[in-house]
Structure 1
């Protein structure tokens, strides 16, 4: 028996689907759509719980006050959430490979089960202020495994849907996961309201039954695709393409901002405006909620108008919104700060959807270019889809690094000036650069460029 034959034999059974062709309209209409949607909703729930556990320490730090035994400086709290964000970002790379290796259903079961570890640790850590700070960093960082769920979930769903519906499907999947940041903040608000800041351990305890439910949902409602392929060689090939680095940079500006601001919002309210834990918790969920809910709309807008066009104008708006945030801080206006910051959250959500839609569209256009020049159709489509799937996970990891950078910038900003304003000025400059790059690479049409009309009816410009 050859290795290939053995692999095929292992990919059989009730949970495995061996025949999957979403680009075939008859197959998609008669068989594919209901299966894909069932897997999508199960994936959204699992990813939602993963995001909640990943961001749980952004809530628990609100409970860490002198009254509860934590006499920590602001920069120590920003460093703690930065470490958690970093681990989640790094794990997104191997998590992308896990889906084709184990199967989407199987890996969802495994990754959901692993969430029980950081959840249990959080229950004990939040009640142990005497724990050395360095040990807090190490143990809390394990919550980063929840951040890896995003890449495996997105890579899995990317295999299920046809090109013309990926903007919506990936947007729904990501948005449903992203809103886990807001959900855990609402849980934190409820705990503080009911038990005061002394009840922090109830936040992770709340999530234990939902982790078990996510495991059951994956077992009951998800499938493995035997044809899903995404390997280390595909990831290596993706990193050699300049579009990988460009899209990673842009995704740092959109998703990196979303997750970084989501982790930092409560700390900003406490340290910039002096809010108490209950006051901060009653506000922090607003930004991540609207940023998450708007993400599918960003994907839909990209399907309709083109990912590059939506992304460009979104970055321009982020520059303006960040400018208002800086003005609000300088004027010490809490109301203007909250309003402007929530607008920026909306823009990060739209940008998340539009930039992520650009990735498969770029490679679909490249595949069509190659086919037009005589390349074999099936092999070319399969190769470019494999590279695009690898890029989805890798770019997700690079984007999450933006969340690390944002909290480190805030840490240095508070340490040097006791204000977040210099940090926001740095972000404003970064968004300006992102807008320029989007225009120069994906909107302007240089001589050595091919433009291809995608199945959505929009034109994606692919620089060669």
Structure 2
């Protein structure tokens, strides 16, 4: 971290604020673009006559392309500066956004959805950029504030149904500006260009480039550490599953509870808000109590909530002698999950994920201060790839079992594996450490994996 003199402190603080503000706004917009098919998928399904599996792949391919370049994007941000990389990504993403607005077939839409998904890679750029500007004791909170840009996933939930209903199907200016659901990606294309111009004009001209001049092999060396891969699995739980549920929940509300799209979108936002806006709180708690403790709280809350959500509606049938029951059967323990208890539990899932996402990334500048771009990029890439694999997995498990609750069975199993791995690692390290370090997880883990 570059040190500044006391006389330079005001300008230093101003530069940090500019980077944090513009990168957070840019990431919010990019996240909205990345996950816009969660809401747009419902009218798209109707127009193109898609089944659930086809619809799940529409969101999945966008998530895929928003994942696979995160490692490269983080390294480029460290080497060339976050400003130039982030600005370029905004302009590049605008092109497929305009193309999505004028698509005429499912196959073409699938291809353009893949291209527009490039927006998701902005996360690792912003993490590397802000880490380069903020000192260690402020990084947890700063990265949490930046990561709150995940709230962009709710933008389409709020504006999408209204814009779809208000804009005429024929659009404006003879179709140059499309109408219906197509107006949303067109609007995003315009906003991406404006955001790129603002970022270039209003962030510090002299950027920081902690990876400048370093060989690529040296920047990738930390990726051999098994700890990086363990953090990646945690991030699949708190971020990959968040991405998947953000795209999946509107359809779940429509299909399972019979709600109209606008209500489904608003209730989904009740999951997205805590999962995004509590990220700064997660960063603060990680700075205050340690990221390991916060992860224990996160996994515990997720296991409790997803266990209840995974229970299918129904009852247990007991077979009894006819002298007790005339038909020989007794139904016990009836269970039905209605929309409001479901929404409350999903809200708790969002709270846990919002806090947990910041806790995972608190580890990275602490353990790998010179390689935030590479390590953060890999963790972000693998976590987001979880968001790619999970929607089709949700669709296939539901198709096989006939139970929509399998969505949360998958989440419960994934969380359980991660929690067990974390706990076994902590126990192993405690057994190797001196007794006086017992319970001080943050210090113990520096001993290795």
TM-score normalised to structure 2 length: 0.85
Contact 2:81 2:209 in 1 (8 A): no
Question: What is the CA deviation profile of residues 24-52 of structure 1, one whole-angstrom value per residue up to 9, with x for unaligned ones?
Answer: 68478444222111111011111111111
- Report matched runs for 1:102-181 at 5 Å: 102-125=80-103, 128=104, 131=105, 133-175=106-148, 177-181=149-153
Question: Any conservation in 2 of the 1:21–1:27 contact (CA below 8 Å)?
Answer: no
Q: Is 1:410 matched with 2:415?
A: no
For the 8 Å contact 1:191–1:202, the answer to whether it is kept is yes
Q: What secondary structure sits across from 1:225 in the alignment?
A: coil
C-alpha separation between the residues in 2 aligned to 1:448 and 1:268?
A: 47
Question: CA RMSD for the aligned pairs?
Answer: 2.7
Match of 1:46 in 2: 26
Q: Decide whether the 8 Å contact of 2:254 with 2:264 is kept in 1.
A: yes
1:73 aligned residue: 51
Q: Does the Cα contact within 8 Å between 1:95 and 1:148 map onto a contact in 2? A: yes
More moved, 115-124 vs 440-449 = 440-449
Question: What SS class does the counterpart of residue 72 from structure 1 fall into?
Answer: coil
How far 1:345 sits from its partner (Å)?
1.1
Q: 2:342 aligns with which of 337, 346, 358?
A: 337
Q: 2:207 aligns with which of 225, 243, 246?
A: 225
What is the match of residue 41 of structure 2? 61
Please say which of residues 275-284 and 314-323 is displaced more in the overlay. Answer: 275-284
Residue ranges of structure 2 left out of the alignment (5+ in a row): 170-178, 315-335
Gaps of at least 5 residues in structure 1 are 1-19, 364-383
CA distance in 2, matches of 1:96, 1:46: 16
Aligned-partner SS, 2:49 = coil
2:317 maps to which residue? none
SS at match of 1:200: helix
| Correspondent of 1:396 among 380, 385, 395 | 380
User: Aligned with 1:154: secondary structure?
Assistant: helix
Which entry has the higher C-alpha Rg, 1 or 2?
2
8 Å Cα contact 1:302-1:354 kept in structure 2: yes
Q: Check 1:94–1:227 CA distance in 2 against 1; reply closer, same or farther (3 A cut).
A: closer
Q: Secondary structure at 1:136's aligned position in 2?
A: helix
Are 1:423 and 2:407 an aligned pair? yes
1:206–1:327 CA distance, 2 compared to 1 (3 A) = same
SS in 1 for 2:446: strand
1:200 to 181, 196, 202: 181
Gap change, CA 1:334 and 1:447, over 3 Å in 2:
closer
Task: Name the CA distance, whole Å, in 2 between partners of 1:205 and 1:191.
Answer: 12
Q: Deviations over 1:80-101 (max 9, x none)?
A: 1111111111021221122134
Instruction: Check whether the contact 1:171–1:299 (CA below 8 A) recurs between aligned residues.
Output: yes
Deviations 1:106-134 (A, max 9, x none): 11221110121121022112xx3xx1x33
